[in-house]
Amino acid sequence: MSPALFRLLSRHRRGAVLASALLVAFLSLTLQARQDSAPATFAKRALLMTVAPFIKATAWVGGGARTVWREYVDLRGVQGENRRLRGDLQALQQRLEGLQEMAQENRRLQAVLEMPGPPAGRRVVARVIGKDATNWFRTLLIDRGSTDGLERSIPVLNPQGLVGRVVEVAPIVARIQLITDPMSSVGALIQRTRITGIAAGDGGANLRLRYLPLMTDVAVGDRVITSGMGGVFPKGIPLGTVVAVERRSGALFQEAVLDPAADLSRVEEVTALLPLANGAAALEGNGDGRDRPR
Protein backbone atom coordinates (compact mmCIF):
# COMPACT_ATOMS: atom_id res chain seq x y z
CA MET A 1 0.00 0.00 0.00
CA SER A 2 1.39 3.36 -0.96
CA PRO A 3 2.02 5.87 1.84
CA ALA A 4 -0.40 8.33 0.27
CA LEU A 5 -3.21 5.77 0.24
CA PHE A 6 -2.38 4.72 3.78
CA ARG A 7 -2.53 8.37 4.92
CA LEU A 8 -5.84 8.82 3.11
CA LEU A 9 -7.36 5.72 4.71
CA SER A 10 -6.08 6.74 8.14
CA ARG A 11 -7.63 10.16 7.75
CA HIS A 12 -11.01 8.68 6.73
CA ARG A 13 -10.77 5.60 8.94
CA ARG A 14 -14.35 5.78 10.20
CA GLY A 15 -15.86 6.04 6.76
CA ALA A 16 -13.54 3.39 5.34
CA VAL A 17 -14.38 0.82 8.03
CA LEU A 18 -18.12 1.50 7.76
CA ALA A 19 -18.04 1.35 3.96
CA SER A 20 -16.00 -1.90 3.99
CA ALA A 21 -18.42 -3.64 6.37
CA LEU A 22 -21.44 -2.50 4.37
CA LEU A 23 -19.76 -3.49 1.11
CA VAL A 24 -19.04 -7.04 2.35
CA ALA A 25 -22.66 -7.45 3.47
CA PHE A 26 -23.93 -5.97 0.19
CA LEU A 27 -21.74 -8.26 -1.93
CA SER A 28 -22.81 -11.31 0.05
CA LEU A 29 -26.48 -10.44 -0.46
CA THR A 30 -25.91 -9.78 -4.16
CA LEU A 31 -24.26 -13.19 -4.62
CA GLN A 32 -27.14 -14.95 -2.89
CA ALA A 33 -29.77 -12.99 -4.81
CA ARG A 34 -28.07 -14.14 -8.04
CA GLN A 35 -28.24 -17.78 -6.86
CA ASP A 36 -24.43 -17.97 -6.71
CA SER A 37 -24.56 -18.81 -3.03
CA ALA A 38 -21.66 -21.28 -2.66
CA PRO A 39 -19.25 -18.81 -0.95
CA ALA A 40 -22.05 -17.49 1.27
CA THR A 41 -23.16 -21.03 2.16
CA PHE A 42 -19.58 -21.96 3.03
CA ALA A 43 -19.14 -18.82 5.17
CA LYS A 44 -22.47 -19.40 6.91
CA ARG A 45 -21.56 -23.01 7.67
CA ALA A 46 -18.16 -21.96 9.01
CA LEU A 47 -19.71 -19.30 11.25
CA LEU A 48 -22.35 -21.73 12.47
CA MET A 49 -19.69 -24.29 13.33
CA THR A 50 -17.86 -21.82 15.60
CA VAL A 51 -20.89 -21.55 17.91
CA ALA A 52 -22.77 -24.81 17.26
CA PRO A 53 -20.84 -26.79 19.94
CA PHE A 54 -21.81 -24.19 22.58
CA ILE A 55 -25.46 -24.24 21.50
CA LYS A 56 -25.48 -28.04 21.41
CA ALA A 57 -23.91 -28.24 24.87
CA THR A 58 -26.39 -25.70 26.29
CA ALA A 59 -29.33 -27.54 24.75
CA TRP A 60 -27.99 -30.81 26.16
CA VAL A 61 -27.59 -29.38 29.68
CA GLY A 62 -30.98 -27.63 29.48
CA GLY A 63 -32.63 -30.80 28.18
CA GLY A 64 -31.07 -32.84 30.99
CA ALA A 65 -32.23 -30.37 33.64
CA ARG A 66 -35.73 -30.33 32.16
CA THR A 67 -35.84 -34.12 32.09
CA VAL A 68 -34.80 -34.37 35.74
CA TRP A 69 -37.43 -31.79 36.75
CA ARG A 70 -40.11 -33.43 34.60
CA GLU A 71 -39.35 -36.86 36.02
CA TYR A 72 -39.57 -35.51 39.55
CA VAL A 73 -42.91 -33.83 38.85
CA ASP A 74 -44.18 -36.85 36.91
CA LEU A 75 -43.47 -39.22 39.80
CA ARG A 76 -46.22 -37.56 41.78
CA GLY A 77 -49.00 -38.43 39.38
CA VAL A 78 -47.48 -41.52 37.88
CA GLN A 79 -49.91 -44.09 39.28
CA GLY A 80 -53.03 -42.41 37.91
CA GLU A 81 -51.31 -41.76 34.62
CA ASN A 82 -50.18 -45.38 34.49
CA ARG A 83 -53.77 -46.61 34.80
CA ARG A 84 -54.93 -44.21 32.12
CA LEU A 85 -52.07 -45.23 29.80
CA ARG A 86 -52.87 -48.93 30.22
CA GLY A 87 -56.41 -48.17 29.08
CA ASP A 88 -55.06 -46.12 26.15
CA LEU A 89 -52.65 -48.93 25.27
CA GLN A 90 -55.43 -51.49 25.09
CA ALA A 91 -57.48 -49.20 22.84
CA LEU A 92 -54.46 -48.52 20.65
CA GLN A 93 -53.63 -52.23 20.37
CA GLN A 94 -57.14 -52.91 19.13
CA ARG A 95 -56.78 -50.04 16.67
CA LEU A 96 -53.36 -51.28 15.58
CA GLU A 97 -54.76 -54.69 14.76
CA GLY A 98 -57.34 -53.02 12.55
CA LEU A 99 -54.67 -50.87 10.89
CA GLN A 100 -52.39 -53.86 10.29
CA GLU A 101 -55.25 -55.53 8.50
CA MET A 102 -55.75 -52.40 6.41
CA ALA A 103 -52.01 -52.13 5.68
CA GLN A 104 -51.96 -55.71 4.42
CA GLU A 105 -54.97 -54.98 2.26
CA ASN A 106 -53.28 -51.81 1.00
CA ARG A 107 -50.11 -53.74 0.09
CA ARG A 108 -52.15 -56.31 -1.77
CA LEU A 109 -54.05 -53.62 -3.67
CA GLN A 110 -50.84 -51.71 -4.48
CA ALA A 111 -49.29 -54.87 -5.84
CA VAL A 112 -52.38 -55.39 -7.93
CA LEU A 113 -52.23 -51.84 -9.27
CA GLU A 114 -48.41 -51.90 -9.54
CA MET A 115 -48.15 -48.62 -7.68
CA PRO A 116 -44.86 -47.67 -6.01
CA GLY A 117 -45.01 -47.78 -2.22
CA PRO A 118 -44.01 -45.00 0.17
CA PRO A 119 -40.29 -44.19 0.28
CA ALA A 120 -38.46 -46.65 2.50
CA GLY A 121 -35.30 -44.60 3.06
CA ARG A 122 -33.41 -44.50 6.35
CA ARG A 123 -34.83 -42.25 9.03
CA VAL A 124 -32.71 -40.11 11.32
CA VAL A 125 -34.23 -38.84 14.55
CA ALA A 126 -32.92 -35.46 15.63
CA ARG A 127 -33.46 -33.14 18.56
CA VAL A 128 -34.28 -29.48 18.07
CA ILE A 129 -31.54 -27.44 19.72
CA GLY A 130 -32.27 -23.94 18.51
CA LYS A 131 -34.75 -21.59 16.97
CA ASP A 132 -34.23 -18.96 14.30
CA ALA A 133 -32.25 -16.02 15.69
CA THR A 134 -34.58 -13.52 14.00
CA ASN A 135 -38.33 -13.07 13.82
CA TRP A 136 -38.15 -12.72 10.03
CA PHE A 137 -37.78 -16.39 9.17
CA ARG A 138 -39.11 -19.66 10.56
CA THR A 139 -36.24 -22.13 10.90
CA LEU A 140 -34.99 -24.59 13.51
CA LEU A 141 -31.53 -25.92 14.32
CA ILE A 142 -31.25 -29.70 14.89
CA ASP A 143 -28.44 -31.72 16.45
CA ARG A 144 -27.71 -33.91 13.39
CA GLY A 145 -25.70 -32.94 10.36
CA SER A 146 -23.84 -34.23 7.34
CA THR A 147 -21.99 -36.83 9.44
CA ASP A 148 -25.39 -38.45 10.06
CA GLY A 149 -26.20 -38.46 6.35
CA LEU A 150 -28.31 -35.32 6.19
CA GLU A 151 -28.37 -33.36 2.94
CA ARG A 152 -30.15 -30.29 1.64
CA SER A 153 -33.86 -30.70 0.72
CA ILE A 154 -34.43 -33.77 2.89
CA PRO A 155 -38.01 -33.78 4.27
CA VAL A 156 -38.40 -33.52 8.02
CA LEU A 157 -41.50 -34.64 9.91
CA ASN A 158 -42.80 -35.50 13.34
CA PRO A 159 -45.59 -37.93 14.31
CA GLN A 160 -48.23 -35.26 13.64
CA GLY A 161 -47.16 -34.30 10.14
CA LEU A 162 -44.72 -32.42 7.94
CA VAL A 163 -42.36 -30.04 9.74
CA GLY A 164 -40.22 -28.75 6.87
CA ARG A 165 -37.07 -29.50 4.94
CA VAL A 166 -33.33 -29.30 5.51
CA VAL A 167 -31.90 -26.11 3.99
CA GLU A 168 -28.41 -25.92 5.50
CA VAL A 169 -26.14 -28.72 6.62
CA ALA A 170 -23.00 -28.49 8.76
CA PRO A 171 -21.12 -31.56 10.03
CA ILE A 172 -22.84 -31.73 13.43
CA VAL A 173 -25.94 -29.58 13.01
CA ALA A 174 -28.46 -28.73 10.30
CA ARG A 175 -31.08 -26.05 9.74
CA ILE A 176 -34.69 -26.87 8.88
CA GLN A 177 -36.89 -24.44 7.04
CA LEU A 178 -40.36 -24.82 8.58
CA ILE A 179 -43.37 -25.11 6.28
CA THR A 180 -44.60 -21.81 7.78
CA ASP A 181 -41.47 -19.90 6.67
CA PRO A 182 -42.46 -17.13 4.24
CA MET A 183 -40.01 -18.57 1.68
CA SER A 184 -41.38 -22.14 1.87
CA SER A 185 -43.87 -23.75 -0.51
CA VAL A 186 -45.05 -27.36 -0.66
CA GLY A 187 -47.13 -29.17 -3.25
CA ALA A 188 -50.41 -29.99 -1.47
CA LEU A 189 -53.50 -32.10 -2.02
CA ILE A 190 -56.92 -31.82 -0.38
CA GLN A 191 -57.60 -35.35 0.80
CA ARG A 192 -61.40 -35.29 0.33
CA THR A 193 -61.62 -33.74 -3.13
CA ARG A 194 -58.11 -34.56 -4.51
CA ILE A 195 -57.63 -30.93 -5.59
CA THR A 196 -54.00 -29.84 -5.70
CA GLY A 197 -52.56 -26.48 -4.70
CA ILE A 198 -49.45 -24.99 -3.18
CA ALA A 199 -49.16 -24.61 0.58
CA ALA A 200 -46.99 -21.59 1.27
CA GLY A 201 -45.83 -20.26 4.63
CA ASP A 202 -47.32 -16.96 5.71
CA GLY A 203 -44.58 -16.14 8.22
CA GLY A 204 -47.05 -16.61 11.08
CA ALA A 205 -48.46 -19.80 12.55
CA ASN A 206 -50.50 -20.84 9.50
CA LEU A 207 -50.09 -21.89 5.88
CA ARG A 208 -51.90 -20.53 2.85
CA LEU A 209 -53.12 -23.04 0.29
CA ARG A 210 -52.86 -21.17 -3.03
CA TYR A 211 -53.89 -21.68 -6.64
CA LEU A 212 -57.12 -23.54 -5.92
CA PRO A 213 -59.48 -23.15 -8.89
CA LEU A 214 -62.45 -20.89 -8.06
CA MET A 215 -65.21 -23.41 -8.69
CA THR A 216 -63.68 -26.28 -6.74
CA ASP A 217 -65.07 -27.60 -3.48
CA VAL A 218 -62.97 -26.57 -0.49
CA ALA A 219 -64.46 -26.56 3.00
CA VAL A 220 -63.38 -25.78 6.53
CA GLY A 221 -62.20 -28.99 8.16
CA ASP A 222 -60.75 -30.53 4.99
CA ARG A 223 -57.49 -32.38 5.63
CA VAL A 224 -54.56 -31.47 3.41
CA ILE A 225 -51.60 -33.76 2.66
CA THR A 226 -48.46 -33.46 0.54
CA SER A 227 -49.14 -34.10 -3.15
CA GLY A 228 -45.72 -35.57 -3.96
CA MET A 229 -45.40 -33.20 -6.91
CA GLY A 230 -42.06 -31.47 -7.12
CA GLY A 231 -40.11 -34.51 -5.97
CA VAL A 232 -38.97 -33.20 -2.59
CA PHE A 233 -41.73 -34.45 -0.27
CA PRO A 234 -43.22 -37.95 -0.54
CA LYS A 235 -46.96 -38.05 -1.14
CA GLY A 236 -49.38 -38.41 1.76
CA ILE A 237 -47.68 -36.65 4.66
CA PRO A 238 -50.27 -34.65 6.68
CA LEU A 239 -49.84 -30.91 6.15
CA GLY A 240 -52.79 -29.40 7.96
CA THR A 241 -56.49 -28.71 8.16
CA VAL A 242 -58.44 -25.98 6.37
CA VAL A 243 -59.61 -23.37 8.88
CA ALA A 244 -60.81 -20.68 6.47
CA VAL A 245 -61.54 -20.29 2.76
CA GLU A 246 -61.02 -16.93 1.03
CA ARG A 247 -62.58 -16.02 -2.31
CA ARG A 248 -61.69 -12.50 -3.43
CA SER A 249 -63.83 -10.89 -6.11
CA GLY A 250 -62.00 -10.71 -9.42
CA ALA A 251 -59.37 -13.24 -8.38
CA LEU A 252 -58.64 -16.22 -10.62
CA PHE A 253 -58.07 -18.58 -7.71
CA GLN A 254 -59.36 -19.08 -4.21
CA GLU A 255 -57.13 -19.54 -1.17
CA ALA A 256 -57.49 -21.54 2.01
CA VAL A 257 -55.86 -20.96 5.37
CA LEU A 258 -54.38 -24.12 6.91
CA ASP A 259 -53.67 -24.92 10.51
CA PRO A 260 -50.48 -27.05 10.33
CA ALA A 261 -50.87 -30.68 11.41
CA ALA A 262 -47.61 -30.51 13.35
CA ASP A 263 -47.54 -28.10 16.28
CA LEU A 264 -44.55 -26.15 15.03
CA SER A 265 -44.26 -23.96 18.11
CA ARG A 266 -43.46 -26.98 20.30
CA VAL A 267 -41.38 -29.25 18.11
CA GLU A 268 -38.73 -31.02 20.19
CA GLU A 269 -37.82 -34.07 18.13
CA VAL A 270 -38.08 -34.58 14.39
CA THR A 271 -37.42 -37.35 11.88
CA ALA A 272 -35.49 -36.71 8.68
CA LEU A 273 -36.29 -39.02 5.75
CA LEU A 274 -32.99 -39.84 4.13
CA PRO A 275 -33.13 -40.78 0.45
CA LEU A 276 -32.27 -44.27 -0.70
CA ALA A 277 -28.79 -44.47 -2.21
CA ASN A 278 -30.24 -44.97 -5.68
CA GLY A 279 -33.15 -42.62 -5.05
CA ALA A 280 -31.11 -39.59 -4.09
CA ALA A 281 -31.52 -37.99 -7.46
CA ALA A 282 -35.28 -38.25 -7.26
CA LEU A 283 -35.30 -36.38 -3.97
CA GLU A 284 -33.07 -33.67 -5.36
CA GLY A 285 -35.30 -33.20 -8.38
CA ASN A 286 -37.37 -30.06 -8.51
CA GLY A 287 -39.00 -30.40 -11.87
CA ASP A 288 -42.17 -28.37 -11.61
CA GLY A 289 -40.97 -26.07 -8.86
CA ARG A 290 -43.84 -26.91 -6.53
CA ASP A 291 -41.78 -28.00 -3.55
CA ARG A 292 -39.49 -25.05 -3.41
CA PRO A 293 -36.78 -24.31 -0.88
CA ARG A 294 -35.36 -20.82 -0.84
- Dist CA 162 CA 155 (whole Å): 8
**243 lines the binding site for another protein (CB under 8 A):** no
**196 lines the binding site for another protein (CB under 8 A):** no
- CA separation, residue 116 to residues 102, 224, 274, 275 (Å): 17, 21, 17, 15
Phi and psi of 241, rounded to 5°? -125, 140
Contact 168, 153 (CB under 8 A): no
**Closest C-alpha among 51, 45, 13 to residue 174:** 45
**167 lines the binding site for another protein (CB under 8 A):** yes
CB of 140 to another protein, least distance (A): 9
Contact 280, 173 (CB under 8 A): no
**144 lines the binding site for another protein (CB under 8 A):** no
Give the residue with the Cβ less far from another protein, 67 or 94: 67
Which residue among 35, 135, 249, 278 contacts another protein (CB under 8 A)? 135
- Dist CA 103 CA 81 (whole Å): 31
- Dist CA 176 CA 140 (whole Å): 5
Give first-to-last CA distance, the chain, whole Å. Answer: 41
**84 lines the binding site for another protein (CB under 8 A):** no
**51 lines the binding site for another protein (CB under 8 A):** yes
Which residue among 27, 65, 219, 276 contacts another protein (CB under 8 A)? 27
**251 lines the binding site for another protein (CB under 8 A):** no
**193 lines the binding site for another protein (CB under 8 A):** no
Give the residue with the Cβ less far from another protein, 22 or 91: 22
Which residue among 14, 112, 120, 278 contacts another protein (CB under 8 A)? 14
Contact 178, 164 (CB under 8 A): yes
Which residue among 7, 8, 11, 62 contacts another protein (CB under 8 A)? 62
Contact 156, 165 (CB under 8 A): yes
What residues line the site for another protein (CB under 8 A)? 13-14, 16-18, 21-22, 24-30, 32-33, 37, 40, 43-44, 47-48, 51, 54-55, 58-59, 62, 129-139, 141, 167, 175, 177, 181-183, 202-205, 265, 294
